[in-house]
Amino acid sequence: MARKAGLFDLRLVIAVLFAIYGVVLLVVGLGFTDEADLTKADGLNINLWSGIGMIALSAVFAAWATLRPVIVPEGGEGTGTA
Amino acid sequence: MPVLAQVDLRLDAGPLDYTLLAVYFVFVLGIGFLARRSVSSSLDFLLSGRSLPAWVTGLAFISANLGAIELLGMAANGAQYGMATVHYYWIGAIPAMVFLGLVMMPFYYGSKVRSVPEFLRRRFGKGAHLVNAISFAVAQVLIAGVNLYALAFLLNLMLGWPIPLSVVIAAAIVLTYTALGGLSAAIYNEVLQFFVIVAALLPLTIVGLHKVGGWDGLVEKVTGGPGGSEQLSAWPATELTGIQNPVLSVIGIVFGLGFVLSFGYWTTNFAEVQRALSAKSMSAARRTPIIGAYPKMLIPFVIIIPGIIAALVVPEMVALKAGDDSGGVVYNNALPALIGELLPNGMLGIAITGLLASFMAGVAANVSSFNTVFTYDLWQDYVRKDRPDEYYLRVGRLATIGGTVVAIGTAFLAAGYGNIMDYIQALFSFFNAPLFATFILAMFWKRMSAAAGWAGLVAGTLGAVAVFVLAETGVLDLPGQGASFVGAGVAFGVDIVVSVAVTMFTRPVPEERLVGLVYSLTPKEDRRHSTTGDDAGWYRSPVLLGIGVLLLTAVLNIIFG
């Protein structure tokens, strides 16, 4: 009987990490960016844009992991054959 | 004046940046704990139970190499030499990675060996195996130490952390997750690290390009700068090779870097090949280096271009490039200097995390390949045979701890004697140089004898050492990268000549022992991979993917030639 490897799918780990990073940067970019920060990055609100990019990356991995879950075959090939 | 340099490069990291860094450490250690649950045998621990999908092993394949020397060194080359640096990727990596996947992987994966030295044992017996296993194991722990030191040095420069503290903290984190989760933890973290590095470098590149006025502004400024417009084209790279004649320079790149050096590194270095051996099927193993080749082809854009930009916008780097080295910076500082110049708090934290992630993954790759070779190739073959598997799982965990402790020692040694790092790296290029010659002969020439296996390796290594000594003492005058290109070439040639000569006078290995190891003695079905289930579909064909990446690389060479 096959089961889903829901607890430890690397794609979900990536999705969660970049969701955290993305939201933090988005909030910093929207609410806590002063003139000095903008001047440093040549007028770009780089925190805001990077945050949006990371949230998008997170969404892609979450969608991939949801649409194509890992199926672990019971006693599958290659495990414990040492 | 090093004091000045430290002040210049100190990053203005705030609580937010440290928090983002801390979040990453939580994930890294969490992966170690989660991966531990899937470890129940030594094969699980040392080879991920041969269960990983190709996109994971493919990204880990290039991440394992995306360490300290790569990131800082290639950005530095970008700052100093410009676009010619792409050769380290497009000529010096992609063809070898495709060759490994298409030509050599059927024998590595198909023969079910657990390491590169084990292939030599099955093919040639003990002589060649011992030479390779010992030199590889020693090399990996020492290089792990060099990587640790590079990491601590950068932390000291950027954040002001004391070097001994940084060495111990970084080693403790790497040790925790590799000792818990084994290769799976190392590989999963390498994949995570890949995305964090891209998340750090892509925004840096975008801000940098914005700063210099887009691509047109970059072209204009480099053309008007001390390097001139030559630095915008990849060929003929006379500055990089140190060879004045453009035709000879191109030949030097293609044969020296592209053929001998890069094939030796990418196809026989177990720290790389191990990632492919942990794949779940023959098809996934063959696709591993080829899938890795696609990001490898693109990643110079976020490493080399920031290097070029650093030499345009960081005042101290501009001065250095104009020939004034009184500012105290060196080209190796290009990437951290640009990060400090352009990124505000927030992205600054991500960038620091990306650099740290890259350094730690480099150390983890060294440690996780060392413990496999130590356990299977040294301990199991020569010290304690025929014990139950739990015994070797325990040896693997202890080897991980022991390897890390030796690496910490090497890091402190490197901290005390600066140029010892250069010598350690030179030393290991000697071992690597002749390996490709031996492997190609071993896989395609069934007559090659066991004595030729070790004799070729030893003679080739001595050939490389001879060139190194002649170049160091000034007998041979080879500027730039010339000495390492020639050294590798000599090692390759000597290995072939000695292997062929020794084979003529010694008995061949009995053919029945070579099934699965040598091309002409392996039935065609055994070299094939399945094309059903997870391996189905034209887009999973290794040959098609390999041709695709070679064509794209050729196109990039034309555009940026």
Query: Residue A15, class by beta-carbon neighbours within 10 Å (0-12 exposed, 13-18 middle, 19+ buried)?
Result: buried
Give the rounded percent of residues in chain B with a pLDDT score beyond 70: 92
The span from the CA of B192 to the CA of B212, in Å, is 31
CB B284 within 8 A of CB B106: no
Q: What is the pLDDT of residues B39-64, one digit of tens each?
A: 777 877 777 777 888 889 999 999 88
Asked if B88 is an interface residue toward chain A (Cβ–Cβ < 8 A), one would say no
SS (H, E, C) B75-100: HHHHHHHHHHHHHHHHCCCHHHHHHH
Cβ B211–A50 below 8 Å, yes or no? no
Query: Residue A1, class by beta-carbon neighbours within 10 Å (0-12 exposed, 13-18 middle, 19+ buried)?
Result: exposed
pLDDT at B478 over 70: no
Q: Which of B333-337, B464-468, B473-477 has the lowest mean pLDDT?
A: B473-477
Give the nearest partner residue to B51 out of A10, A41, A79, using CB atoms. Answer: A79
- Torsions phi, psi for B532 (to 5 deg): -120, 170
Q: Show me where the domains of chain B are located.
A: 2-27+53-559
The topology under which CATH files domain B2-27+53-559 is: Sodium/glucose cotransporter (1.20.1730)
The span from the CA of B123 to the CA of B517, in Å, is 7
CB A72 within 8 A of CB B51: no
Asked if B524 is an interface residue toward chain A (Cβ–Cβ < 8 A), one would say no
What SS3 state is found at B392? helix
Asked if A15 is an interface residue toward chain B (Cβ–Cβ < 8 A), one would say no
Cβ B346–A13 below 8 Å, yes or no? no
Q: Which residue of B has its CA nearest to A76?
A: B51
Q: Return the pLDDT at A71.
A: 65
The number of distinct structural domains making up chain A is 1
Cβ B342–A42 below 8 Å, yes or no? yes
pLDDT at B241 over 90: no
Q: Return the pLDDT at B424.
A: 66
Asked if A14 is an interface residue toward chain B (Cβ–Cβ < 8 A), one would say yes
The span from the CA of B30 to the CA of A16, in Å, is 12
Matching residue, tokens 């010339």: B482
Residue A78 lies in a domain: no
Report which residue type is found at B319. A
Q: What is the pLDDT of residues B63-98, one digit of tens each?
A: 888 877 788 888 888 888 888 888 888 888 899 999
Distances (CA, A) of B367 to B174, B360, B408: 9, 11, 12
Test the A interface: residue of B16, B26, B33, B195 with most A CBs within 10 Å: B195
Q: Which residue of A has its CA nearest to B214?
A: A42
CB B208 within 8 A of CB B305: yes
Provide the pLDDT confidence category of residue A1 given band limits of 50, 70 and 90: very low
Q: Return the pLDDT at B386.
A: 82
Sort out which chain A residues have CB atoms less than 8 A from B188's CB and list them. Answer: 10, 13
Q: Which of A52-56, B161-165, B239-243, B397-401 has the lowest mean pLDDT?
A: B239-243
The span from the CA of B80 to the CA of B125, in Å, is 46
For residue B205, the tally of other CB atoms under 10 A from its CB is: 17
* CA distance to partner chain A, nearest, from residue B199 (Å): 7
* CA distance to partner chain A, nearest, from residue B19 (Å): 10
Sort out which chain B residues have CB atoms less than 8 A from A48's CB and list them. Answer: none
Q: Which residue of B has its CA nearest to A80?
A: B41
Mean pLDDT rounded to a whole number for chain B? 83
Provide the pLDDT confidence category of residue B216 given band limits of 50, 70 and 90: confident
Please provide the DSSP assignment of B293-335 as one string. HHHHHHTHHHHHHHHHHHHHHSHHHHHHHTT-GGG---GGGHH
Asked if A45 is an interface residue toward chain B (Cβ–Cβ < 8 A), one would say no
User: B184: which residues sit within 8 A by CB, 6+ positions away?
Assistant: B35, B38, B39, B44, B48, B49, B52, B278
The span from the CA of B405 to the CA of B171, in Å, is 8
Sort out which chain A residues have CB atoms less than 8 A from B392's CB and list them. Answer: 82
Q: Return the pLDDT at B423.
A: 65
Distances (CA, A) of B496 to B267, B431, B454, B509, B549: 17, 15, 12, 18, 30
CB B414 within 8 A of CB B166: no
The span from the CA of B206 to the CA of B214, in Å, is 9
Residue A23 lies in a domain: yes
Give the nearest partner residue to A44 out of B19, B207, B346, using CB atoms. Answer: B207
CB B338 within 8 A of CB B204: yes
Residue A41 lies in a domain: yes
Q: Which of B106-120, B223-237, B266-280 has the lowest mean pLDDT?
A: B223-237
The span from the CA of B275 to the CA of B134, in Å, is 20
Q: Which residue of A has its CA nearest to B188?
A: A10
pLDDT at B418 over 70: no
CB B43 within 8 A of CB B340: no
> How is residue B229 annotated by DSSP?
G
Q: Which residue of A has its CA nearest to B313?
A: A42
CB B358 within 8 A of CB B66: yes
Name the B residues in 480-519 with CB < 8 Å from any A CB: none
User: B103: which residues sit within 8 A by CB, 6+ positions away?
Assistant: none
Q: What is the pLDDT of residues B350-396, one digit of tens each?
A: 999 998 888 888 888 888 889 888 888 888 888 888 888 888 888 88
Cβ A40–B344 below 8 Å, yes or no? yes
Give the nearest partner residue to B346 out of A10, A28, A43, using CB atoms. Answer: A28
* CA distance to partner chain A, nearest, from residue B230 (Å): 28
Q: Return the pLDDT at A75.
A: 47
SS (H, E, C) B473-520: CCCCCCCCCHHHHHHHHHHHHHHHHHHHHHHHHCCECCHHHHCCCCHH
pLDDT, greater one: B207 or A78 = B207
- Which of B412, B407, B411, B394 has the alpha carbon at shortest distance from B367? B407
pLDDT at B251 over 80: no
Query: Residue B555, class by beta-carbon neighbours within 10 Å (0-12 exposed, 13-18 middle, 19+ buried)?
Result: exposed
For residue B539, the tally of other CB atoms under 10 A from its CB is: 8
* CA distance to partner chain A, nearest, from residue B263 (Å): 29
The span from the CA of B459 to the CA of B449, in Å, is 15
Which residue range forms the structural domain that includes residue A18?
Answer: 8-69
Distances (CA, A) of B168 to B32, B163, B174, B418, B540: 18, 9, 10, 19, 42
Q: Return the pLDDT at B198.
A: 92
* CA distance to partner chain A, nearest, from residue B421 (Å): 34
For residue B536, the tally of other CB atoms under 10 A from its CB is: 12
The span from the CA of B533 to the CA of B526, in Å, is 18
Asked if A31 is an interface residue toward chain B (Cβ–Cβ < 8 A), one would say no
Q: Return the pLDDT at B289.
A: 93
Give the rounded percent of residues in chain B with a pLDDT score beyond 90: 14
